[in-house]
Structure 1
Amino acid sequence: MKKAAQQALQCLDLTSLNEGDTPADIDALCARAQTPFGPVAAVCVWPRFVAQARALLPANIRVAAVANFPAGDLDLARTLADVQEIATAGGDEVDVVLPYRALIKGQTVECAEFLAEVRHATRPLTLKVIIESGELLTNDLIAQGARLALMAGADFVKTSTGKTKVSATPKAAGVILKEIKLSGLGSAGFKASGGIRTVADAQVYLQLFETHLGAAAIGPQRLRFGASALLGDIEAVLSGSQVAAARSVY
């Protein structure tokens, strides 16, 4: 379990995306990101907090922020404005929501064009495309969403915003990971987000990732976990606490 905890820590996007987030919350988030057991991979915040987070964190912890979040509308102008705000403030990564409702309606071309524009606007930043897998109710739609993201040049395919009834699931993760493997893109990664609160939860995705992409690929360059509460359980496991219970300061 300690190995899984250390891997999860190295791949963690420590996240705070509450509507009422304040600068004090971001101060606390950034302080938590630098643990006695090592740093997280990144913090993930609203665009308005990117400059603050970047100023507080060392260069080895990346700053990610969300665009078109959590709505996932087919609204390119708003999305590009979010991207510009993130880039100008010194962000390293953009987590953008695929217009999943449009995809469900069969607007595949529109979704592909949207993602192509976002990919162009985000370079050279890392781009994670959130396909909102819990709303794509069939494996075929989940696979299609993942393929659209990968064809557009996404660096990561991400499961969920964490704002819908169903977030990350092992079933959806398996579909996405299969598409990443089939794509032949040796640098493409996977991010599981939403509902992952314990090391045991994370271990399921670590095992799935290893099955599809291999143990050597496990690392922050190709695997991320988006979570806020997970860090408490990681620290409990790594410190040898009797009770490894997830906790959150947010």
Structure 2
Amino acid sequence: MTATPAEIAARALPLVDLTNLNDDCAPADIEELCRRAVTPHGPVAAVCIWPRFVAQAVRLLGGTGVRVATVVNFPAGGEDTLAVVRETERALADGADEIDLVMPYRAFVAGRRGFAEEQIVRVRAAAPQPALLKVILETGEIGDPLLIHLASEVAIDAGADFIKTSTGKVPVNATLEAAEIMLNLIEAIRREGGREIGFKPAGGIRSLDDVAAYLALADRIVGANWVSAATFRFGASGLLDALLAAIDGGTGEAGEGY
């Protein structure tokens, strides 16, 4: 039976990483973001913010169940691994629960697979469990499907808990084509008895139609019972209003933002 818009929205709401990575983000914006993260229909999974706001968000969200995620090596995916490790350590000291790391994708595309892998390994070592490590591949910049598959393998082998499509800061962000490649690898690892890897599409996901398409893809590839906040997140800033409108009987049409 086809799910209703309200059912799709209710399923997606607890999967959202509510995001503000605007260059001009200020403490007042973080206050508003954290307020919005706990909705009348339940909390989102996490807020995703710049490292300088982690301590503030941890304080504001205490006791809500909403996790605090932050970004490192963002958005450029640079090559100063020591700086990225220090950034990670500071964020965790401030109370971050989750680290979204941009892999050095330009180095990877240029054939420096080992360098990209080593940076992820180093960040993983700086962010041991129970911290969650999501590795952003920047699939729209990688482009080649075979390289997207290989980048996913590199990230997982280096210790990623999640593989994430995009920063939301480049011309091509999340696509269903990249998602299919990444989800097929996740399912192959599951079939072989490997560890559970999560998936996070991010960038350009704004409407209920977008949400429904990604959930349907995950259901088809990995199974209808796989999707949960432990395995699947939507990275978005403009999606929440659309989800709440659909739950409340609206259309769930496009919201603004990343």
TM-score (norm 1): 0.96
Give 1:59 shift: 4.5
For 1:97 and 1:176, how far apart are their aligned partners in 2?
A: 16
**Equivalent pair of 2:70/2:100 in contact (CA under 8 Å):** yes
Return 5+ residue gaps in structure 1 as ranges. Answer: none
TM score, norm. by length of structure 2: 0.93
Tell me which amino acid in the other structure corresponds to 2:135. V
1:152-231 mapped onto 2 (5 Å cutoff): 152-184=158-190, 185-231=194-240
Aligned residue number for residue 234 of structure 1: 243
- Answering whether residue 12 of structure 2 is matched by residue 8 of structure 1, we say yes
Aligned-residue RMSD, C-alpha: 1.4
Offset of 1:110 from its aligned partner? 1.0
- Asked if structure 2 preserves the Cα contact closer than 8 Å seen for 1:156 and 1:189, the reply is yes
Tell me which of 34, 37, 47 is aligned to 1:30: 34
**Structure 2 residue matching 1:21: 3-state secondary structure:** coil
| Secondary structure of 1:219's aligned partner | coil
Contact 2:43 2:64 in 1 (8 A): no
Match of 2:120 in 1: 115
Q: Does residue 135 of the first structure (1) align with residue 141 of the second (2)?
A: yes
Separation in structure 2 between the aligned mates of residue 114 and residue 175 of structure 1, nearest angstrom: 23
* TM-fit CA distance, 1:67: 0.3
Q: CA-to-partner distance for each residue in 1:178-200, whole Å, 9 max, x for gaps?
A: 11112233421000000000111
Q: Which residue of 1 aligns with 2:95?
A: 90
Q: Which runs of 5+ in 2 are unaligned?
A: none
Cross-structure match for 2:253: 245
Q: CA deviation at 1:247?
A: 3.7
Partner of 1:18: 22
* Residues 43-122 of structure 1 aligned to structure 2 (within 5 Å): 43-57=47-61, 58-122=63-127
* CA distance in 2 between partners of 1:112 and 1:167 (Å): 22
Distance in 2 separating the partners of 1:78 and 1:233:
37
Q: Is the 8 A contact 1:8 1:199 kept in 2?
A: no
Q: CA contact under 8 A between 2:70 and 2:98: conserved in structure 1?
A: yes
1:163 counterpart letter in structure 2: K
Native 8 Å contact 2:134 2:161 kept in 1: yes
Cα deviation digits, residues 25-77 of structure 1 (max 9, x gap): 00000001011111000000000100100111134110000000001012201
Preserved contact between residue 206 and residue 257 of structure 2 (Cα < 8 Å): no
Structure 2 CA distance, aligned partners of 1:231 and 1:199? 10
SS state of the match for residue 223, structure 1?
coil
Local SS of the residue matching 1:15: strand
Number of matched pairs: 249
Amino acid in structure 2 at the alignment position of 1:63 = V
Contact 1:150/1:183 (<8 A) preserved = no
The structural deviation recorded for 1:248 is: 5.3
